[in-house]
Structure 1
């Protein structure tokens, strides 16, 4: 199955009215209390059978999947654009501000992150509370446990996002039913992590090893186990993270998950739900269930004669930076699997008439040179740096969408947790304890047949830096880098004085003051190493229990 939201859109929308309420969305008391339109079922008659439990859990996922701010379109791309890996194409004022860290508490997308995460929390709380009422309808506890466990997983997932990017936030553990209840104080990060750990632990115990084919794409026992390990790592309890990661790997491998030999096949549209993917957001090619995440990854600046190669001229917002390109070791094939750069095989020319195209490139002396290539049907087209503002485009996780009636309806799943990530979670936990076994797990990732990079040894550098490097190149342009830089407290150090992170492929040949030479985000306002998002201003205005903004705002 492609989509865990597929079974009942009407039900999800109904629950959206009841459940998907953020911590303090603006509404009147009368509007809040009038929650059950007469043409829609109230909660006391909604929960009637197993499909009701499925729909309640789907409502908890929905805030993450159906907004342009979230995984449907921008989240992965923007998070890369806020890191040293990527650049957001200069378009849409609010997006430019965010990518450059010119963020204020009034910023709409940051507000949406908070809002949708709490909508998910409230929906999960509702599912946890109400699904057990199906016992009165004849269902057994054993039948209900997987759905309750999945709601716990989604709640933990949402709080892991909130605590990593906002720090101390309100901890809401039951559905809220009045305006007054939304005024909640911040809880400590320790309290929030404790809740997340409990949620993922319960989910690991009660989720199935696999779901029926009609419900795949949902969290499994191995998914919850992997996120439990991730949470312990983020909390910097490295001993607990090691234990949890070893358990997660055992659970995952015993239930059929493994590193896929062919790196590129992990992201192949024809190989979705493959054994590498522990968790992903599923989409299908349709109006209601598609996503425009894909068109934003495709090159925008192609000559029109070449747009057929990937089906369309894309929007081109997701742009790799030279700093990422240089992070790959010489000979690491993952660079070409991930990035299109000058001279790379871009795709196959299949237009009817031959095309003579004048390419440009800089030689090793920094001199601009040109050369002509004539392409006929079946020829491989070489990438040209002028097809992107950074001289590079994303290669990983794209597919031809020319057959779609609307380019916004792409059906490519968005990967969130892979087996390689889990191996590197264990490697990081070991490295932080000074245990050389970390290299065993790093080298398992490097030994993938399609990667086949030489093993690392202790002589190659510090264990922690070796793991961090491997995370960067293995998971590049999957939206993971910002999570890591924030939790490591490395944002300000990575960017330094504004001349450390090269942006353009030919950065070395651009004038020193050229806007595309370096990535220099505005991080001076942050007083320490911890760089967080601001608490949204509307939350501060409406929640009398929160009186303190995050540092730097």
Structure 2
């Protein structure tokens, strides 16, 4: 009972303190919250609950919740993996046509919800720094987790918007007129946070749940960051750290088991408990699965061209792609549960998993000219999928051909997961070639989303991306 009472009190306090930024970060009211901060960080129990509150908010925050305005869905539309079944929602059609206007509310939701998470992590970090009632061990753990989540949020923002404001404090006077920080400097801060998080965190799973991050989660995101920066050596180094942690992670033979709660392939997941416990299904499952009885509720389909790139014997086609004969549409079926209020929870939303680390290392090694090792890594993914191994059918493959196969496997493996296809097309310079051929309105400036008009009205120092 004592824990439950503390949890209720902390939730109320966090609603005043950590959530005070609400819809935007640039117009945070003058904080009258010293007493609130003192209460939240006066002991380890309430400080841990504050961190739990941030994890829970990730299930509710628009950019990360897997719902209609999440990065998974909106950036999925921006790429060429999913599309709208109906053309009634103009704002989502804008993402699909790469014609987003600055007033688009979905775009604003991504921006503001990510910055709200950043504001919360900054609040927690400041509270930890000024607290005298928490042991160094707990401080170290919570700081590492907060720094990781801040870096993760910035990583997604900088890859959607390019230069963005770098918010590292809760000082409302400083924040409300911040201008955009160059992308390179944002990446520097992301790397600094992740390196420190990796150092501060242990390799175990806090509370034995993969919904909490550990040092390998930081290593995995560092591998992705370095891949995007084309630092192939570091991309290989950090992905290897995760791949070699075989007591924690493994590629599961059965694709049906990958997206289960605490799957051994999971590096980081988000629990539906963040929604308050009234339902226990993932938002992705609820949104993407086409129910055969309630098919009229469906709004998203997989592109037929995506389904067509899979070999017929590919287990991913059989296990991760569904087909509704009534609507005549393919749909993502990585999650199997559309609605549930049952316990124990069977599925968590996947954020990061081991298969991506093999794909990262394969790409890095291919760029480094280590083709035999790159072949081994890509074949780990193909072997699980039940398709022919490149090392057997094309052992003398050249560098560019191998890189093309790696990008194809990334598309097949990571569809409807966190905008990977959209980010891959942009970072490899292929967005215009691929999307321009499908979209007559495509312009080179469409690779960046617009800075939301509402934010620019509040902050005159926010410049707009070119083309908007």
TM range (shorter): 0.7 to 0.9
Aligned to 1:444: 380
Query: Larger Rg: 1 or 2?
Result: 1
Contact 1:85 1:481 (C-alpha < 8 Å) held by counterparts: yes
Aligned to 2:450: 534
Shift of 1:400: 5.4
- For 2:449, what is the secondary structure of its paired residue? coil
Aligned to 1:191: 185
Aligned to 1:122: 119
Shift of 1:70: 3.8
C-alpha change, 1:290 and 1:477, in structure 2 (3 Å) is closer
Residue 82 (str. 1) matches residue 78 (str. 2): yes
The separation in 1 between residues aligned to 2:26 and 2:352, in whole angstroms, is: 34
Shift of 1:46: 2.1
Aligned to 1:46: 40
Aligned to 1:512: none
1:82-481 correspondence runs (5 A): 82-90=78-86, 91-134=88-131, 136-137=132-133, 139-176=134-171, 178-213=172-207, 216-250=210-244, 252-253=245-246, 255-267=247-259, 271-284=260-273, 286-287=277-278, 292-299=283-290, 302=292, 307=293, 313=295, 315-341=297-323, 384=325, 386-388=326-328, 391-399=329-337, 401=339, 404=341, 412-436=347-371, 437-448=373-384, 451-456=386-391, 457-459=395-397, 462-479=401-418, 480-481=420-421
Contact 2:13 2:36 (C-alpha < 8 Å) held by counterparts: no
Aligned to 1:482: 422
What is the count of residue pairs matched by the alignment? 451
Cα deviation, 1:400-451, whole Å, max 9, x if unaligned, reads 53x659xxxx974111111110111111112223320211110111122x62
Contact 2:6 2:46 (C-alpha < 8 Å) held by counterparts: no
Normalised to the residue count of structure 2, the TM-score between the two structures is 0.87
Normalised to the residue count of structure 1, the TM-score between the two structures is 0.75
Contact 1:23 1:118 (C-alpha < 8 Å) held by counterparts: no
Aligned to 1:8: 7
Shift of 1:396: 2.0
Cα deviation, 1:308-348, whole Å, max 9, x if unaligned, reads xxxx557323311111112223532212222224xxxxxxx
Contact 2:202 2:214 (C-alpha < 8 Å) held by counterparts: yes
C-alpha change, 1:181 and 1:478, in structure 2 (3 Å) is closer
Unaligned runs of 5+ in 2: none
Contact 2:358 2:381 (C-alpha < 8 Å) held by counterparts: yes
The separation in 1 between residues aligned to 2:115 and 2:403, in whole angstroms, is: 34
- For 2:442, what is the secondary structure of its paired residue? coil
The separation in 2 between residues aligned to 1:7 and 1:477, in whole angstroms, is: 38
Shift of 1:473: 1.0
Contact 2:301 2:331 (C-alpha < 8 Å) held by counterparts: yes
C-alpha change, 1:214 and 1:41, in structure 2 (3 Å) is farther
- RMSD of the TM alignment (CA)? 2.9
C-alpha change, 1:13 and 1:160, in structure 2 (3 Å) is farther
The separation in 2 between residues aligned to 1:7 and 1:203, in whole angstroms, is: 27
Contact 1:23 1:119 (C-alpha < 8 Å) held by counterparts: yes
Shift of 1:466: 1.5
Shift of 1:63: 4.5
Contact 2:281 2:341 (C-alpha < 8 Å) held by counterparts: no
- For 1:393, what is the secondary structure of its paired residue? strand
Contact 2:26 2:176 (C-alpha < 8 Å) held by counterparts: no
Residue 523 (str. 1) matches residue 442 (str. 2): yes
Q: Which has the higher helix share?
A: 2
